[in-house]
Chains A and B, each alone.
Chain A
Amino acid sequence: MKKEFQIISDLIENNTRVLDVGCGDGTLMKYLKDKKNVDTRGLEISKNNVQICISKGLTVIEGNAEKDLKQFPNSSFNYAILSQTLQAFYNPERVIDDLLNVAEKAIVTIPNFGFWKVRLDLLIKGTMPVTKNLPDEWYNTPNLHMCTLKDFFNFCSKKKIKLYRSLALHDKKISEISNFNLNLKNFSSELGIFLIEK
């Protein structure tokens, strides 16, 4: 399992209820269910991934987070997970709002557009960045709203969203992000992992 999922899993308490938004093939859900006795539900847009989840015995709804999150009652989950998909929504602001309605806390991970390699692509090459975490070309990327760790940090503060934990990931190394090292982490990290609450 990838490091990101390990970190997310560590943020989640045992025996809780979790909604994995964009759960993919259910790798994280299966892990949470088996190892942490978490009652998991998934929302996934790809029919193929939904089929894979079904074969693993996972409970997944085929749907689109921008339309279908609202069907869950308020606070029906302890955690909602959104892994590396916020940037692909038409309206990320509303999705975050919905996440924090259906769950008490949300774990949001973000590929960092402020990472130095990304900046370098644009600065030196003058082309849209293509990296390990952002593998697509500008003309076929699903990403509509790229942001940096700092952008998300500022967004939370502006929207009065509580940041419980802010973690930066680079080369499988995790570190805490704080107000003091924000600029540095925004430069040196590929991925941000945030545990938030309304």
Chain B
Amino acid sequence: MNVKENIKTIIVKKPLKLDCGETIIDYPLAYETYGKLNDKKDNAILAFHALTGDQFASDINPITKKPGWWSHTVGPSKAIDTNKFFVICANVIGGCMGSFGPGNINPKTNKEYGTDFPVITINDMVNAQYNLLEFFKIDKLYSVTGGSMGGMQVLQFVANFPDKAKTAVPIACTASHSAQNIAFNELGRQSIMADANWKNGNYSYLNSSPDKGLAVARMAAHITYLSKKGLQEKFGRKLQEKEDLNFSFDADFQIESYLRYQGSIFVDRFDANSYLYITRAMDYFDLIKQYKGNLSKAFEKTKTKFFIISFTSDWLYPTAENKEIVIALNASGAEVGFIEISSDKGHDSFLLDIPEFLKAVKNFLEANY
């Protein structure tokens, strides 16, 4: 995580008043781009990442050395074709890949912010990233897109800037974080905070790291990204490199071993405090409440053409919640298309190689360009 020379960053000079009341200024915003911005500057797509994503949507992530989180979707000739489109992706504020986050040094104390970092919201994330339009001198984006928390940012972006995106593709998301969503996030946060190495968020300063807590948070969350059927088909009751049960608490089953592995690799690339802050931002997201109980008011002024996508086996952000957005857009008179993609891969489907999903994204973006 210290190899940060590959990270492109702008320092945002414009003050940003956060929803919590604090104002931030001169803060870093890390980003990456794919493809080329054309002369007319009408081919830019702003992609928003999800909870544990970062700005490295495509190619090989220079920090983790693994393919970018959306590499099935973004790239030359792919669904978001970087031969045609200029894709910008930024690390959200609160994150840990170069944008202003709890791991930054607080000039007042000369140590990491930790839990002194202000609580940020999806609205704050979007307002911070809006500065990239000015940086690239783009008057209007061709599209804004993203899945999960990325989709929430899409909705917030169009609500905040109704004439700044020609199209919008929110995927597998919601307009209002449900009690179940909040419950899972709270489970993750409590797991981190219960780790003695968390040290009230001051672990960096005290040279410790709440790896166990963060790993358990990731394990629990990971289950919510998959479907029961997908898990059953992939793992069933298969045993991990053994003939019979061990009558112990080792990882007897493959699924246990898989989750432990997912937890262990996650702590190498993600910061525990960022996990707390970003999950909080998701929990606070309620676009319906922002518009006083009427979601269609959020899209009243927009000419943006929407295409909403959900997945059949996604129980974290189910089709019904995605359809609520469709209904609100219709009520506001906005132009909106919708498709539910058949997949047994659960919420994670938007990150995977699901041909029907990729086809829908590609066809929508190319037919409307």
B268 contacts the other chain (CB 8 A): no
A181 contacts the other chain (CB 8 A): no
A162 contacts the other chain (CB 8 A): no
The segment out of B140-148, B156-164, B277-285, B357-365 that lies at the interface is B357-365
What residue of chain A has the Cβ atom nearest to residue B369's Cβ? A57
What residue of chain A has the Cβ atom nearest to residue B342's Cβ? A47
Please give the distance in Å from B330's CB to the nearest CB on chain A: 5
Q: Which residues of A contact B305 (CB under 8 A)?
A: 59
- Assembled-state Cα–Cα distance A41/B338 (Å): 11
Secondary structure type dominating chain B contacts: mixed
Q: In the complex, are the beta carbons of A51 and B360 less than 8 A apart?
A: yes
Name B323-354 residues within 8 Å CB distance of A. Answer: 326-327, 330-331, 333, 335-342
For the complex with contacts A47-B339, A51-B339, A61-B338, 8 further pairs of A-B residues with Cβ separation under 8 Å are A50-B339, A51-B360, A60-B338, A62-B339, A63-B338, A73-B331, A73-B333, A76-B330
Q: In the complex, are the beta carbons of A61 and B337 less than 8 A apart?
A: yes
Q: Which residues of A contact B317 (CB under 8 A)?
A: none
Interface residues on A, range: 10 to 19
Q: Which residues of A contact B337 (CB under 8 A)?
A: 50, 53-54, 58-61
A-B contact pairs, 25 of them (CB 8 A): A47-B339, A47-B340, A47-B356, A50-B337, A50-B339, A51-B339, A51-B356, A51-B363, A54-B339, A54-B360, A55-B367, A57-B367, A57-B368, A59-B305, A61-B326, A61-B337, A61-B338, A62-B338, A62-B340, A63-B338, A71-B326, A71-B330, A71-B331, A72-B330, A73-B333
Residue from the list A50, A53, A57, A73 in contact with B330, Cβ < 8 A: A73
What residue of chain A has the Cβ atom nearest to residue B307's Cβ? A54
Please give the distance in Å from B171's CB to the nearest CB on chain A: 14
Q: Which interface residue of B326, B335, B339 has the most chain A CB atoms within 10 A?
A: B339
What residue of chain B has the Cβ atom nearest to residue A57's Cβ? B367
5 tightest A-B CB contacts, nearest first: A57-B367, A55-B363, A71-B327, A61-B338, A59-B337
Please give the distance in Å from B107's CB to the nearest CB on chain A: 50
- Assembled-state Cα–Cα distance A63/B342 (Å): 14
- Assembled-state Cα–Cα distance A73/B334 (Å): 11
A56 contacts the other chain (CB 8 A): yes
What residue of chain B has the Cβ atom nearest to residue A63's Cβ? B338
Q: In the complex, are the beta carbons of B339 and A59 less than 8 A apart?
A: no
Q: In the complex, are the beta carbons of B333 and A76 less than 8 A apart?
A: yes
Please give the distance in Å from A24's CB to the nearest CB on chain B: 15
Please give the distance in Å from A87's CB to the nearest CB on chain B: 26
Please give the distance in Å from A70's CB to the nearest CB on chain B: 9
Please give the distance in Å from B193's CB to the nearest CB on chain A: 42
